[in-house]
Amino acid sequence: MPRRKARVVSSPTASLPPCPGPKLRPFRHQDASIKWGPRLDTARPETGSQGFVFQAEIASRQYAIKVFKFYHPKSNKFYWETYLGKSYPLRKALFYTDPFYAECRAYGRIKETRDERKVKANVATRCHGYLFLRTEDMNFLRREAGIDFDTNVIDESLKRALGGNIQVRAIVKDLETGQTGVQKHNIEHAWRNVSLLNSLGIYNRDIRADNFMNCRIVDFGLSWTEPHAILDNADVDEAREQRLGDCAQFEEMAELEGIKTTAKIPPFRYNLRPRKKTWKAA
Ligand SMILES: Nc1ncnc2c1ncn2[C@@H]1O[C@H](COP(=O)(O)OP(=O)(O)O)[C@@H](O)[C@H]1O
Ligand SMILES: [Mg+2]
């Protein structure tokens, strides 16, 4: 009898994604009922967004929940194939390109370093784990908030890549108060946080004002966290450029926001020394 291939089944007890590198644990109130509140992401255009952010109450506490649309790596194949080659498995490409997994990997690294007490400060908005939405929550959001999860992109190959689990995925975060953005008086603090994330092998790659709240980054949907297959396969100069990208984006953001600063932003660029750690993706 032919041996059946092992299948990775994402159960709410598994940390995700199932690939080398940091992983995110499930949210501890996986089965608790969710009292959905208002959308928090109404200020940004919906087109091109990775999902939807809601305020919500779970077990008597307020959170921000980012609910992700489905993403198919074939929509971005041209880009990652350049680095990973045409024979790179789609399932593995998903782990390094899906915005949900990007957030899992970044928050997984942040948690690791906090547990090891390497980082004490809240360098990013705190994350409480991932959540698979129950059918009743999916239906509620479809019906009451007109949410389209892009389930139309799901085909057999994506379903296989997701280990057969096509529940809608979400990430539970602290609810930040106040407005998005950076101001003259706190831009240096915001940069310190980005720079610290870079030193942990997390490159945000989407540095702009609406991804900051209280000097902290709220959005890791485009981030790359080491070890990352694309960084490992890019040539040395390209990988270096990618690793320094946040600094350039930060400077652009400051300029766009009209913030003239004496903050030590440019010198940090040259402070990104080669890391002692060697990270390697499979
Ligand atoms: N933890 C949070 N607390 C409060 N508001 C948030 C939080 N996370 C996101 N938001 C709001 O939602 C917006 C979109 O969230 P984000 O994660 O950046 O999604 P997208 O990937 O669609 O850009 C943010 O610009 C911010 O206004
Ligand atoms: Mg964003």
Closest-CA residue, ligand 1 atom 13, reads 41
| CA triple 86-90-92, angle to 5 deg | 110
Q: Provide the β-strand partners of residue 35.
A: 57
Would you say the CB of residue 180 lies under 6 angstroms from ligand 1?
A: yes
Would you say the CB of residue 67 lies under 6 angstroms from ligand 1?
A: no
> What span, in angstroms and rounded, lies between the C-alpha atoms of 213 and 183?
11
The residue ranges of every structural domain in the chain are 34-271
Would you say the CB of residue 53 lies under 6 angstroms from ligand 1?
A: yes
Q: Provide the β-strand partners of residue 24.
A: 16
Would you say the CB of residue 210 lies under 6 angstroms from ligand 1?
A: yes
What is the fold of 34-271? Transferase(Phosphotransferase); domain 1 (1.10.510)
In the numeric block, the tokens 């966290």 are attached to 225
Closest-CA residue, ligand 1 atom 19, reads 219
| pTM (two decimals) | 0.91
Would you say the CB of residue 223 lies under 6 angstroms from ligand 1?
A: no
Contact 269, 255 (CB under 8 A): no
Predicted confidence (pLDDT) per residue in 131-148, tens digit:
999 999 999 999 999 999
- Note the ligand closest to the C-alpha atom of 51: 1
274 CA distance to ligand 1 centroid (A)? 32
Question: Residue 183's CB: how many other CB atoms inside 10 A?
Answer: 13
247: number of CA atoms within 13 Å, CB side?
Answer: 19
Tokens describing residue 148: 């389209």
Would you say the CB of residue 98 lies under 6 angstroms from ligand 1?
A: no
Predicted confidence (pLDDT) per residue in 214-272, tens digit:
999 999 999 999 999 999 999 999 999 999 999 999 999 999 999 986 655 544 444 44
Q: What is the pLDDT along the chain (282 residues), one digit of tens a residue?
A: 444 444 444 446 899 999 999 999 999 998 899 999 999 998 766 667 899 999 999 999 999 999 999 999 999 999 999 999 999 999 999 999 999 999 999 999 999 998 888 777 789 999 999 999 999 999 999 999 999 999 999 999 999 999 999 999 999 999 999 999 999 999 999 999 999 999 999 999 999 999 999 999 999 999 999 999 999 999 999 999 999 999 999 999 999 999 986 655 544 444 444 445 566 665
239 CA distance to ligand 2 centroid (A)? 23
